């Protein structure tokens, strides 16, 4: 049963992305906008650079979110006052879309001329809550006996966190990270097109990335570039899923406690 | 010579305002085997947690060694670590050198008959083997006191008897002070030199057991002492 489910999962990971690419082609064909598949080095170069920048942005935002989430979750999971602050905050943050803050963030960063900072901040905000609250629930689910083992053997605080709490909460941390990246992919398409949030803004103020390419190629009617950008996103998500998340999820299984 | 002293110890849980211990006094001698029995919520776990340093008393005076080994009800092994790594944990926390950590962990795994399972993860071990790893982990730091928190309650009868035998053997070989919490009166009487009966957050009575080892659970003297402990438990008897 488990093997069948696992096989289905693997097939899903392969066929769903291929299906999405074919679906995109079918829609473009129906619209009469099927791209010319000519080997275009310039387009390929542009898409590769865009992929690189988008991945860098997502990685930097994720690492920042991780660095903030871990101490926040550690405090919130053991401090009653912090919990009283965090749980209502979570309810509020869940119901307000993070992109609603984007114009404000962009305006703040325009003053310093650091538009890349605006993109990273919005990506960070879209990722951080997923990790924080998944990790809080993971930390709170650690059996009391496991926590006591660290205390009985007088583990120093940092060692206790690194050798007991974080490994025990690793499955939650991986799931939280997976959700954070999914949220990051959703946000990137909007976040890289900054000029729409800047008064009298122009396309020159956008940052190069796959999201930026998607929006601009679509607006310019460049279906070839649009298709390549869309295919790049699908391929990136699929490859990261295969290379990073699936092995991490499998690895994290051995950190789970018996029910 | 006393190893553990509780002098009019009280514990109030601030979160609920409910008592955990009320005016508890007893001494446990060095190298002895003592058990604490009582119904759920009687205060025996709180007593053990204060000895382990996991809870702080709110009144009275406690004398306990700075270092104790503790065996938990469900072994409480780290699922991500092998048996050897689990046993090494306490030693690593003490800052021992890796060579010494490995040698000591292997020695205690061998003492518990688990050398062949050293590189297996907890999920690959039986319930009895996991509990043995937990005992090896507690002993590896070579503490003066070994605390056992209902260590056999999750095991079937045959494994429980085997582990009782192992614990008794280790106590006799090492001369360590053992304090065990148990729901099973026959188990407490078969293993201990002294049984403390707890009721409503206090010690309701004690029973000294001066029978030779090994003790057969169905021997008339053992059965008589179990009945006596039970009478204290029910409020019919008193200290022997």
Mutate to test the interface with A, among B65, B68, B77, B79 (most CBs of A within 10 A): B79
Please determine, for residue A2, whether its predicted confidence score (pLDDT) is greater than 50.
no
What is the residue-wise DSSP string for B181-193? Answer: EES-HHHHHHH-S
Average pLDDT, chain A: 83
Give the domain B1-67+145-240 fold: Rossmann fold (3.40.50)
* DSSP labels, A243-259: IIIHHHHHHHHTTPPP-
| Residues paired with residue B182 on neighbouring β-strands, in sequence order | B37
Judge whether residue A1 has pLDDT over 60: no
Closest CA to B195 of B28, B64, B60, B83: B28
Within a 10 A sphere around the Cβ of B92, how many other Cβ atoms?
Answer: 16
Within an 8 Å CB–CB cutoff, is residue B237 touching chain A? no
Interface test with A, best of B93, B120, B149, B151 (most A CBs within 10 A): B93
Domain A35-253: what homologous superfamily?
A: MetI-like (1.10.3720.10)
A152 and B79: CB-CB below 8 Å? no
Interface with B, mutate which of A153, A163, A257 (most B CBs under 10 A): A153
**pLDDT values of chain B reduced to their tens digit, one per residue, 240 residues:** 888 999 999 999 887 888 889 999 999 999 999 999 998 888 999 999 999 999 999 999 999 998 899 999 888 999 999 999 999 999 999 888 999 999 999 999 999 999 999 999 999 999 999 999 999 999 999 999 999 999 888 788 888 888 898 999 999 999 999 999 998 888 899 999 999 999 989 998 999 998 888 888 788 888 998 888 888 877 765 544
Query: Under an 8 A CB cutoff, do B93 and A155 touch?
Result: yes
Count of CB contacts below 8 A, A vs B? 55
CB-CB contact of A243 with A26 (8 Å): no
ipTM over 0.90: no
Q: What is the dihedral of CA A43, A46, A52, A58, to 10 degrees?
A: -100
A94 — pLDDT class (breaks 50, 70, 90): low
Whether B51 contacts chain A with CB within 8 A: no
In chain A, where are the structural domains located?
35-253
Contact at CB, A145 and B72, closer than 8 angstroms: yes
Does pLDDT of A45 surpass 90? no
| Dist CA B144 CA B15 (whole Å) | 33
Asked whether the predicted pLDDT for residue A138 surpasses 70, the reply is yes
Inter-residue contact A61 to A124 (CB < 8 Å): yes
Contacts of B58 (CB under 8 A, 6+ apart): B10, B11, B12
Total-model pTM: 0.82
Parse chain B into domains and list their residue ranges: 1-67+145-240, 78-142
Q: Nearest CB to A254: which of B54, B70, B79?
A: B79
pLDDT of residue A77: 84
């Amino acid at each position: 049963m488990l093997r069948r489910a696992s096989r289905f999962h693997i097939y899903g990971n392969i066929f769903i992305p291929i299906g999405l690419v074919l679906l995109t082609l079918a829609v473009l064909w129906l619209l009469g906008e099927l791209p010319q598949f000519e080997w275009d080095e310039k387009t390929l170069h542009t898409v590769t650079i865009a992929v690189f920048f988008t991945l860098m942005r997502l990685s930097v935002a994720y690492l920042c979110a991780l660095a903030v989430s871990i101490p926040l979750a550690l405090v919130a999971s053991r401090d009653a006052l912090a919990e009283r602050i965090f749980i209502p905050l979570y309810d509020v943050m869940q119901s307000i879309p993070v992109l609603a803050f984007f114009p404000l963030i962009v305006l703040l960063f325009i003053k310093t001329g650091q538009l890349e900072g605006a993109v990273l901040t919005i990506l960070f905000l879209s990722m951080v809550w997923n990790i924080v609250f998944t990790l809080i629930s993971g930390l709170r689910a650690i059996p009391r006996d496991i926590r006591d083992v660290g205390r009985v053997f007088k583990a120093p605080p940092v060692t206790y966190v690194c050798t007991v709490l974080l490994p025990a909460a690793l499955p939650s941390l991986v799931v939280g990270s997976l959700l954070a990246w999914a949220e990051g992919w959703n946000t990137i398409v909007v976040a890289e097109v900054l000029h729409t949030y800047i008064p009298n803004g122009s396309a020159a103020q956008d940052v190069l990335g796959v999201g930026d390419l998607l929006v601009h190629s679509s607006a310019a009617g460049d279906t070839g570039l649009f298709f390549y950008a869309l295919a790049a996103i699908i391929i990136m998500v699929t490859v990261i899923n295969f290379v990073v998340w699936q092995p991490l999820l499998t690895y994290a299984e051995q950190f789970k406690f018996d029910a | 010579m006393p190893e553990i002293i509780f002098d009019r110890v009280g514990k109030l849980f601030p979160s609920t305002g409910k008592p955990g211990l009320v005016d508890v006094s007893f001494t446990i001698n060095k190298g002895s085997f003592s058990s604490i029995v009582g119904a759920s919520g009687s205060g025996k776990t709180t007593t053990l947690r204060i000895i382990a340093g996991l809870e702080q008393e709110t009144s009275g005076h406690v004398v306990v060694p700075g270092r104790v080994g503790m065996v938990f009800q469900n072994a409480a092994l780290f699922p991500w670590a092998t048996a050897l790594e689990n046993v090494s944990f306490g030693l690593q926390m003490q800052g021992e050198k890796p060579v010494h950590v490995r040698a000591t962990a292997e020695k205690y795994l061998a003492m518990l008959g688990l050398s062949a399972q050293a590189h297996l993860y907890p999920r690959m071990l039986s319930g009895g083997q996991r509990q043995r790893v937990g005992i090896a982990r507690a002993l590896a730091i070579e503490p003066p006191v070994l605390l056992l928190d209902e260590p056999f309650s999750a095991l079937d009868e045959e494994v429980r008897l085997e582990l009782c035998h192992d614990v008794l053997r280790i106590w006799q070989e090492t001369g360590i002070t053992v304090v065990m919490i148990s729901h099973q009166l026959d188990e407490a009487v078969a293993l201990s030199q002294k049984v403390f009966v707890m009721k409503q957050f206090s010690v309701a009575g004690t029973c000294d057991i001066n029978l030779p080892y090994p003790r057969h659970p169905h021997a008339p003297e053992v059965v008589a002492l179990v009945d006596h402990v039970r009478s204290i438990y029910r409020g019919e008897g008193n200290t022997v």
